[in-house]
Each structure stands twice: as C-alpha cells, then as structure tokens.
Amino acid sequence: MAAEDPATRRVQVAEHPRLLKLKEMFNSKFGSTPKFYVRAPGRVNIIGEHIDYCGYSVIPMAVEQDMLIAVEPVKTHTLQLANTDPLYPDFSTTANNICIDKTKPLWHNYFLCGFKGIQEHFGLSKLPGMNCLVDGNIPPSSGLSSSSALVCCAGLVTLTVLGLRLSKVELAEICAKSERYIGTEGGGMDQSISFLAEEGTAKLIEFSPLRATNVKLPSGAVFVIANSCMEMNKAATSHFNVRVMECRLAAKVLAKHKGLQWDNVLRLEEVQSKLGISLEEMLLVTEDALHPEPYSREEICRCLGISLERLRTQILTPNTQDGESSGQRIA
C-alpha cells in the first residue's frame, strides 16, 4: 500500500514550459517568485461507478491532466488566490476563521476546503498566509475530478507551507472529508487516487481502512477518454447528493428491517458487514427488503419509525431537503 509521504523533487523550472509560464504569470501577478509547486492529478474510474460512498471498492486510475499550484508563503495572515484562467476571479481572505459558503460553489472554495481540512486536522488557530496561482488543465465539471484535484492540491500546499508531514493515505482521508465543507457528500475515491496513483497501473481502492492495491492492466491496452463537452458541477446541483442520500436511506431502511441499530448507519457496506454476509447474500437481502418502486418520504418515515421533521432536519442534507421525495428511488 502506498502510505508514504507525497513525493517531492527538485526541478529546473526553465526545462518545463508549463512551470516556466506559471512562474512568469506568478511574478506578474504578485511581483515575486514562487517558492515551490504542487501537483494533483484528475482521475477516470474503470470499475465501480457511484459505489465508493456506499463503502464499496472501486478501480480508478489517474490521468495526465492535473491541477498545478505555484506557492509563496508570506508573513501576513492573508490568503491570496489567483487562477491562470480569467474565467475564475482572484480571491483574498484571512487565513484564520475560514468560512465556506455551501450555496456558492465558487472555484476558490475548493481551495479553502483543502486548507481548512489541514487546519482542523492539526487543530491550528493561526496560520501563515500565502500567495497561490492555480493552473488546471482538467476540463471543469467533466467527471474527471477537477474539483477534488484542487482540494487535494490545496491540502498538500497547506501541509508544505506549515512544514508538517502526513502520509498519502492520511492526506487522502482528510481531503475526502474536507470536500464535504462545500456540500458534496462524496465517498473518497477521487481524493484517494489523486494521492495514491502510480504510473502504469490502476488501483483497487478499498475503504475502512483506506488501502490501495496495484491492478495490472492488459499489455498494450489503451484507454480513450473523450470529452463530451457536457458539464455537471456536483456542488452546484443536488443531483449527486440525491443519489448519495438514496443509498444512505436504503442502508438505514435495510438496517432497520434486519433489526440492526440504524441511526448511525451511512453506507450499505456497513449493513453487509454488520450482518456478516457475502455480497451475493447482500443482494438477496436487498431484493427481499426493498421494493423497486419509488419510496415517498412518508413511506421512508414509516419504515424507520420517525417523523418527517426528523428526516428532513437530521438525515437529509441541505440540498436534498426540498422536494416531494428523497429522489426517485432508494433501491
């Protein structure tokens, strides 16, 4: 398992056109020179679509496209964030008391997620400031995890500025948790592969505990990743969280049906583990306990023995609280 520290290496900026261009733009923006650069790749998933947040294993691999950040620590307590893409405006804030507006998935909020995740992990109250220039070549909202790559990049930037150390696994877990500051209820696949990827191999990512195993790809295999130019910003709509919530409610209803303590259950894999059954047996239990037709909120409440108010305020996330039902179906 790749649990070591994130790799660092010395490079001659002049030998890398992208780094050289980023350095020149940084100097133009901030009037100074970056002290270091941080990179985090995007990803494509091969097997296991939308099951990481259910606790089940996935097989993703990193792509060449990435997020790259040029960084200069400063003596003030101010974060100054800029982007090489003029579509994303500059942003400045104090490095202390970071507030992230879940209702506005602006680009800089993803950086703040990674920053705040490291801050809270170490329980720090006063952090130094920094100037950062972000350059990304992952098509935004394309399903290649540009947002998670930015969160990961920001987490690693913050860790480096503070002079602290964490393993790749610890960083992945922190960044997966911290991306929820912006309202996305992801499962951790994107952040895990961004840190744990290795050249020439896909990874079997397993959870609880997080671990990664090399998956040898067929000799001569070529993966073609085509950009459809259709965009979906997970944090800007409720679609992603509705799907997560449907699975979460399914897990709770299954747990209640089987006489388990369901209140704290969040993932279907938890139910399977508590029942001590195989995946095949879990499928049979699911087919027996849940009907294929959509569940209304009232029916979910009857199944769990709770009020609509408790469902809305204690179980549903803010962007899944409204509407006629929790989604189209929970199974």
Cis peptide before 209 (omega within 30 of 0): yes
Task: List, in sequence order, the alpha helices (H) in 46-145.
Answer: 107-121
Gap between the Cα atoms of 198 and 211, Å rounded: 14
Please state at what angle helix 239-257 crosses helix 268-275, rounded to 10 degrees.
20
The catalytic residue among 90, 190, 263, 322 is: 190
Q: Residue 296: helix, strand or coil by DSSP?
A: coil
Question: Which residues, other chains included, contact 170 with Cβ-Cβ below 8 Å and sequence gap of 6+?
Answer: none
Query: Is 190 a catalytic site residue?
Result: yes
* Residue 325 burial (10 A CB sphere; 0-12, 13-18, 19+): middle
Gap between the Cα atoms of 98 and 109, Å rounded: 10
Q: Residue 70: helix, strand or coil by DSSP?
A: strand
Active site residues: 190
